[in-house]
Chains A and B, each alone.
Chain A
Amino acid sequence: MSRHIPRTGVRRYVNVVNLGGLLIAGCATLPLVWMASASFKGPGEISATPPSLLPEDPTLGNYETAFVRNGIGHYFLNSVVVACVSTVLILSLAFFAGYALARLPLRGRGAVMTALLMLSVFPPIALLVPLFLMERQAGLLNSYPGLIVPYVALNLPFAIWIMRNYLSGIPGELEEAAVVDGAGPLRTAVTVILPLARPGLFTAGVFAFTATWSEFLLALTFNGSDDRRTVSVGIALFTSQYQVPYGVIFAGAMVATVPIAVLVLVFRRSVVSGMTTGAVKG
Chain B
Amino acid sequence: MSSALPTRTSKTPAEGGDGRARTGAPPPGSARPGSVARRRARAGWFFASPALLVVAAVTVFPVLFSLVLSFCEVRLDYGGLRLGSPTLGHYEALLTHPEWYRALAFTLGFTVVSVFAELVLGTLVALVLERLGAARGWILALLLLPWALINVIAAQLWSYLFNGTYGAVGWLCEQLFGTQPDILGEPVPAMAAMVVVDVWKTTPFVAIVVLAGLMLIPGDVYEAAEIDGAGPWTTFWKVTLPQLRPIVAIAVLFRILQAFGIFDLPFVLTQGGPGTATQSVAILGYRILFQNLDFGGGAAVAVTTAVIVMGCCLLFLRVFRAHVDEEGRA
Contacts and interface: CB of A to CB of B under 8 A. Distances in A.
B301 interface: yes
Contacts of A149: 54, 58
Contacts of A272: 140, 144, 208, 212
Given A97-B47, A112-B52, A217 B58 contact: no
Interface stretch (B94-102, B150-158, B219-227, B236-244): B150-158
B81 A133 contact: yes
Given A118-B310, A128-B298, A281-B254, A236 B152 contact: yes
B208 A24 contact: no
Interface in A189-243: 189, 210, 213-214, 216-217, 220-221, 231-233, 235-236
Given A49-B171, A185-B43, A282-B205, A24 B258 contact: no
Interface string A123-148: 11111111111101100000000000
B58 A104 contact: no
A66 interface: no
Nearest to B137: A268
A27 B166 CA distance: 20
Contacts of A105: 19-20, 23-24, 37, 40-41, 44
B113 interface: no
Which bracket fits the contact residues of B?
Answer: 35 or more
Nearest to B299: A129
Contacts of B139: 21, 24-25, 28
B264 A24 contact: no
A18 B135 contact: yes
* Interface of B, helix, strand, loop or mixed by DSSP: helix
A85 B100 CA distance: 38
Given A100-B45, A104-B40, A272-B208, A123 B62 contact: no
Interface string A17-30: 11011001101110
B193 interface: no
A1 B39 CA distance: 80
A6 B60 CA distance: 66
B156 to A, nearest CB: 5
Given A31-B158, A113-B8, A116-B55, A265 B65 contact: no
B7 to A, nearest CB: 8
A114 to B, nearest CB: 5
B2 interface: yes
Contacts of B141: 265, 268
Given A105-B20, A123-B305, A276 B208 contact: yes
Interface string A100-114: 111111110111111
Given A21-B128, A127-B63, A216-B152, A106 B41 contact: yes
Contacts of B310: 118
Contacts of A117: 5, 8
Contact of A17 (B132, B155, B167): B132
Most buried by A among B41, B152, B290: B152
A27 B156 contact: no
A123 B282 contact: yes
A185 to B, nearest CB: 3
Contacts of B306: 122-123, 126
Contacts of A282: 147, 202, 205-206, 251, 254-255, 258
Given A106-B44, A119-B55, A32 B149 contact: yes
Nearest to A272: B208
Interface in B47-93: 47-48, 50-52, 54-55, 57-59, 61-63, 65-66, 69, 80-81
A216 B264 contact: yes
Most buried by A among B129, B145, B268, B313: B145
Interface in B235-287: 247, 250-251, 253-255, 257-258, 260-261, 263-264, 267-268, 281-282, 285-286
Contacts of A261: 145, 148
B203 to A, nearest CB: 9
A117 B316 CA distance: 14
11 contacts: A20-B125, A28-B139, A104-B40, A116-B55, A123-B282, A123-B306, A128-B298, A130-B65, A154-B58, A185-B39, A264-B147
Given A153-B55, A276-B212, A282-B255, 10 more contacts: A21-B136, A24-B128, A121-B257, A122-B306, A125-B286, A125-B301, A128-B286, A185-B47, A216-B264, A264-B145
Interface of A: 17-18, 20-21, 24-25, 27-29, 31-32, 34-35, 38, 46-51, 93-94, 96-97, 99-107, 109-114, 116-119, 121-134, 136-137, 149-150, 152-154, 156-157, 160, 165, 168, 172, 176, 179, 184-186, 189, 210, 213-214, 216-217, 220-221, 231-233, 235-236, 244, 246, 249-250, 253, 256-257, 260-261, 263-265, 268, 271-272, 275-277, 279-282
